[in-house]
Amino acid sequence: MAEARGAIDRRDFAHAAGWLEAADGIAAASNVENTRQLLSAARKQADTDAWDQLLKTAQERLQQDRLIEPANDSAKYYLMTLRDVNPGNAGLAPALQDLGVRLAAKARRALTLQQYDAARSWLEEAAAVGFSSADLSAALRETEAAANQQHFLANVIGASELTLVKSVTPIYPKKAEQARTEGWVELDFTVAEGGEVKDIAVHAANPLSVFDGAAIGALSQWRYKPVIRDSKPSAQRARIRIRFALKD
């Protein structure tokens, strides 16, 4: 019994249980039972202390902005561990809410910087800890829309793949004509669902800024046959090079 109590004091609960089993039937039954209750209480207190330490460490990591990294020493790690072993802990829900708010703020910041992959990653982390809010849902919608737009802008085809319906010849800039300057402008643009040209942007030019305005002014009046995708007209990003050459 003395060995059992000593092990309990050291929080060596496995050995304490072994000594109690050995004492059963030898020591007084009341002494064995009292020590068993002491062991049970000590185990509960050890669990409570461990849970409190998990929560305290998680809160420290939140203040240090160590939300998800390092993987085994972050606010998320300690809170997820606490949720696994003590889901009803009174401090768990507020701490998870705090973590979710901070993750959502990271996502919003990344979205502002147009870092869409990072924004999506932060949003997924927030969802993984069970956080939800109107702002989180809005940020998710904005991130998906921005990512789709980014993909759309990156999916550029050559204008030669489109069917041209109407074109307008660019007006040769007078200064360039007088200086006998020739060149070209490469433009990215969108063929809308109705075939009109919109969202024109200069991709490259030679020489710079000489023919841009003339090229944009002409291209904005062009019309193409709408691109059909899934049996319906769809917007498509395209690229064209408009050349400016003087007549002999």
- For the stretch 57-115, pLDDT in tens is 999 999 999 999 999 999 999 999 999 999 999 999 999 999 999 999 999 999 999 89
First to last CA, the chain: 113
Which tokens hold the place of 81?
Answer: 């561990």
At residue 171, the pLDDT reads 96
State the average pLDDT for the chain.
94
3-state helix, strand, coil in the chain (%, to 5): 55, 15, 30
Amino acid making up residue 223: R
Residue 248 pLDDT exceeds 80 = no
At residue 147, the pLDDT reads 85
- For the stretch 124-171, pLDDT in tens is 999 999 999 998 999 999 999 988 888 898 899 999 999 999 999 999
Of the chain, the percentage scoring pLDDT greater than 90 comes to 84
Q: Where in the chain is the domain with CATH 3.30.2420.10?
A: 157-244
Q: Kindly provide the b/e burial profile for residues 42-71, where b requires at least 16 CB atoms within 10 angstroms of the residue's own CB.
A: beeeeeeeebeebbebbbebbeeebbbeee
At residue 237, the pLDDT reads 96
Average pLDDT over residues 4-32: 90
Which tokens hold the place of 128?
Answer: 């993984």
At residue 148, the pLDDT reads 87
Closest C-alpha to 191, from 230, 160, 162, 166: 162
Q: What is the CATH number of domain 157-244?
A: 3.30.2420.10
Q: Kindly provide the b/e burial profile for residues 185-207, where b requires at least 16 CB atoms within 10 angstroms of the residue's own CB.
A: bebbbbbbeebbbeebebeebee
What is the pTM (predicted TM-score) of this model? 0.64
Q: Are the beta carbons of 39 and 4 closer than 8 angstroms?
A: yes
Measured between alpha carbons, how far is residue 194 from residues 187, 191, 216, 224 in Å? 20, 8, 19, 8
- For the stretch 184-214, pLDDT in tens is 999 999 999 999 999 999 999 999 999 999 9
Confidence grade of residue 25 (pLDDT, cut at 50, 70, 90): confident
Alpha carbon distance 26, 156 (integer Å): 86
- For the stretch 101-125, pLDDT in tens is 999 999 999 999 989 889 999 999 9
Alpha carbon distance 52, 43 (integer Å): 14
